[in-house]
Every structure is written in structure tokens, then in C-alpha cells.
Chains A and B, each alone.
Chain A
């Protein structure tokens, strides 16, 4: 199976590999997949409280080349978007950008799931924090 140059580039030179401090209130973490399935993605976003923009995004992925490239691309796309804009990223955008073959579409689905999970975690944390502030 021949992969696209964009995919190979993201695989060989993955962007934004790393870990954000998940204890921070403005960091949302999404962990999706399972080792038994051969794919685990952890995607994190750090949101600028003042602007609501995603100022940083990091990932680590256990998986095949397409899974790694999909999550690397996702972090690039997340930066500079607001949380709500980020929710509109669709897995088919990733499929198209990386020219994923049909058997690898699930990798893009997993990346979309990871984005949604990270945002949900961020929202959950900040809702709780907001309520805590309100009752104080």
C-alpha cells in the first residue's frame, strides 16, 4: 500500500508530540482507543481563557502510521481555533488531506473522537470550575 507524501511526512516528522499538564484547568485531555485494538490516541488542548482560542495542542499515539499521521494533523488544525470551531473538524477532512486508504478510515474517526473527547474534558472541567466559583 502506497501512502501519500503528506501522510509519510506527518508520520516521520510528527508535529506537536508531547504532554500537557492535565491538572491545569484550561487543559482538556482525550484518550481514545484501546491497546487490544492496536490504536490508542491521547490528544490534549490548552485553551487561552481570555480569548477562548486553542493556544496549544499535543498528542501521543500508539498505532499504525495512519493513526499517528491523523493525530499529528489534528493537532496542527486545532491550534488557533476556538473550541467551538474545533468541534467542526470532521474525520473526512483528515481522510482527504492525508489521502487515507479505505482500510485506514478508522484512524481518522479515532482522531475526530480524540478531538471531541479533549473538548468535552475541557468543557466539563470548566463547567465544574465555574459552578465552584459561583457557590464560593
Chain B
């Protein structure tokens, strides 16, 4: 007990691959230059390293290196894409369309833009988490400038129909932005082939370092421009000022290179482990539900509700040894469960009962076996303690009880 620590929270952040760390180390001291210093070798070395990393990142998503803007992460990329496009294209219109299940970095940015005069349509999703394409198309108006849809959802792993969305956007001449944080480096994400004009992603979800990300901005057909949100030295072709995080960018490049080589085999191995975990839960526990479309989702993710068990309490039965996330927000001041699961139409009770397992490159079969046993034990323990499980077992209709809401 205590010695074993299993990490199944790779959608929150991934460990840095040791090969990435190795690539970064020289850029902290030996080659510490500022990539914008044009007049001495320290600057040249740094610039060269950044250029190489830009190529590595561009290659992973099959775009031109000139279309990569380095940022501090996906949150900044989301902000820059949404605010930058809104400002740049304000003459064309002020309407943005985005699903309700987007990350807060998109939703809260949209809310801020609303205060500045934007009109935002928040699309519902179907019970499987996918958007309704007809609903999306119907929401497009003459003043629509942009559709923003995340590639894969962080909580459920559900993958949206990017190609079809791209076609709809092209048909109506609106820009298509995607927060692809959870997808890049794990599945094939080639924005150009799918009609995506802007795409934000980050290094630390793909075994790179924290604090560095990128925004892809299409330069050709169409040439997209964003208004800078950070004023200063005019780095990144004027779209993102600020001294480049050279070691971080080098690490990001290395992480992209490794991902390109290994993501297919990683995905195949992890989907088998994920399926094993899911099957074990289904076979050995009652009242288990998988949230989100199981045919269109990331290979390493599963989001499971264990009915009549509260997620955070359940996690506490094994959180000394196993790290994962819950859709229960018992710790948040609002006490609201996951808005993503609620948007899927889950009752608050099932949303409170959910756990997200996200496996990663360094997850072993042993880890998964251990987690299966621990979660089973935890669920049984919590159900023994649960009055609503007891009522359910006695055949009481829980919907008929008048609960004292608090």
C-alpha cells in the first residue's frame, strides 16, 4: 500500500516523455539565447531550434510551418482564435456558433465576446455527445463569422464529425475553428484536409511540457488573419508577441515528432486496455453506464457512471493509489455536476456518479488490472453505504420520493 501510484488522468495532463525532457535540457543553459536576437550566435541557435520545432509540429498536423503560431497553451490558442477572428472579421458579422460541451476556455471566451457585442449560438448535443449537423447548418446566418467545435471532448472523449462540419462551413463561407487539445498527437488531425481554418492545441496533453501550445492559422485558401491579443515585440509574425519559450517549444517539437511515429501503436494498445477496463466494469458490477458515443471517441478514454454512488466519494476509496477525475463537482462551490454530462442529458444523479478514465503512453496492463480491482472494491463499498442503492435494491421508485433539495 502506498508505494503504487497509477495515473489514469492523462486527459488532465500527460507526463513529459523522457526523450522530450532530454531534448529540452540544452536550451535552458547551453543554448539559452532569445530567438529574436538576430545579431549573435546565441540568438541564431535559439531561432534555429524554434524553426526546427515549428517544422516538427507542422508535420504532425500536415500544415506549412508558417501556419504555426506558438502560444502558452491551448487556453491562449482558444482565446486568440476566438477574440482574434471576432475583431478581425467584425465588418463581416458578429455571430459565432459553438456547442454547449466545449471547454471553458472556449465557452467563457464566447461569453466575454457576448459582452462586447457578439451574438453566440450555443448548440445542444445529442445524448451521445455528438452535435446535430442539421441543427448546426440551420443556425448559420448571414452574420455568422465562425463555427467553433472541439475535435474531441475532454470529459467523454467523443469525437465530433469534423469533416462534415468542415463541409457545412465551406458551403456557407464561414470560418471553422477547432480546439483540438485532446486529439492532436493521439489521433490523426490534419486540419487542411477537413476544412478547418484555425486549430488550437497544447504540448502537455501529448507528452510534452506545460506552458507551450500552438495555434494553426490557415495562410492559403483562405488566408485567415487574427488580431493580436498581446501587444509587444511583434513575435510570431505579429500575431503573438512575447519572447518565445525556447526550451518548451523544443520539447513540443520533440513530442510532436514522437507522436507522429508512435500514436498509431499507442492508440491500438490503449484502446484494448480501455475496452478491457470497460468490459470488466460491465461484467462485474450492476448499473454501470458509459457516457458518450462509444463508436466515435478517443481510443484511450472512457467515462463511466456507477449508479447510486457519488463519484468523489468513490474516488476517495482509492485516490491514494489511483489518479483519475470525476464529473461530480462536490468540491466546487456551486455543487453543480459536470456541465458536459448534463448537456448529454444525463440526470444530475448519474452525472454525480461518473468517473473519467484516461489512459496514456505510460499506462501498463498491470495498472489497468489494479485499477479494475480497486474501482470494483470501491463501488461495492460505496454501495453498501448508499441509502439510495438500498432503496433501489428494495424496488423503491426513487423518482417518486420527495427529496429535500438543499
Neighbouring B residues of A32 by C-beta, 8 Å: 404, 406
A38–B331 alpha-carbon span in the complex (Å)? 11
Chain B residues within 8 Å of A77, by CB: none
Which of B337, B389, B390, B406 is A33 in contact with, Cβ under 8 Å? Answer: B406
Chain B residues positioned under 8 Å from A33 (CB to CB) = 403-404, 406
Q: Counting chain A CB atoms within 10 Å of each CB, which of B330, B348, B352, B405 scores highest?
A: B330
B134 at the interface (CB under 8 A from A): no
Name the segment of B111-119, B212-220, B379-387 touching the other chain: B379-387
Q: Which of B362-400 contact A (CB under 8 A)?
A: 382, 384-390, 398
Task: Count B interface residues, CB 8 Å.
Answer: 31
Contact assessment for B387 and A41 in the assembled complex, using a CB-CB cutoff below 8 Å: yes
Whether a CB of chain B sits under 8 angstroms from the CB of A65 is: yes
Size of chain A's interface in residues, with CB distance under 8 A? 32
B55 at the interface (CB under 8 A from A): no
Interface status of B349 (Cβ within 8 A of chain A): yes
Expressed in whole angstroms, the minimum distance between the Cβ of B389 and any Cβ of chain A is 7
Q: Determine whether the beta carbon of A35 is less than 8 Å from that of B390.
A: no
Q: Which B residues touch A110, using CB under 8 A?
A: 406
Contacts A35-B398, A35-B403, A38-B310 given; indicate if A64 touches B330 (C-beta within 8 A).
yes
- Which residue of B is nearest A11, CB measured? B316
Chain A-chain B contacts (Cβ-Cβ < 8 Å), number:
97
A62 touches B403 (CB 8 A): no
Q: Establish whether residues A61 and B385, one from each chain, have CB atoms under 8 Å apart when the complex forms.
A: yes
User: Looking at the complex, which one of A12, A19, A65, A106 makes contact with B406 (CB distance below 8 Å)?
Assistant: A106
Residue on A nearest B402 in the bound complex, by CB: A34
Within A83-136, the residues touching B (CB, 8 Å) are 103-104, 106, 109-110, 113
Q: Does chain A have a CB within 8 A of B232?
A: no
Q: Is A39 an interface residue (CB 8 A)?
A: yes
Residue in contact with B387 in the complex, picked from A37, A42, A106, CB distance below 8 Å: A42
Q: Would you give the shortest CB distance from A121 to chain B, in whole angstroms?
A: 13
Report the Cα distance A19→B386, complex, angstroms: 11
A31: chain B residues within 8 A (beta carbon): 387, 404
A-B pairs with beta carbons under 8 Å apart, 11 shown: A11-B316, A12-B317, A14-B385, A32-B406, A35-B352, A38-B337, A42-B387, A62-B385, A64-B312, A68-B385, A113-B404
B residues with a Cβ closer than 8 A to A are 308-310, 312-313, 316-317, 328, 330-333, 335, 337, 347-349, 352, 382, 384-390, 398, 403-406
A residues touching B (Cβ–Cβ < 8 Å)?
A: 1, 11-12, 14, 17, 19, 31-42, 60-65, 67-68, 103-104, 106, 109-110, 113
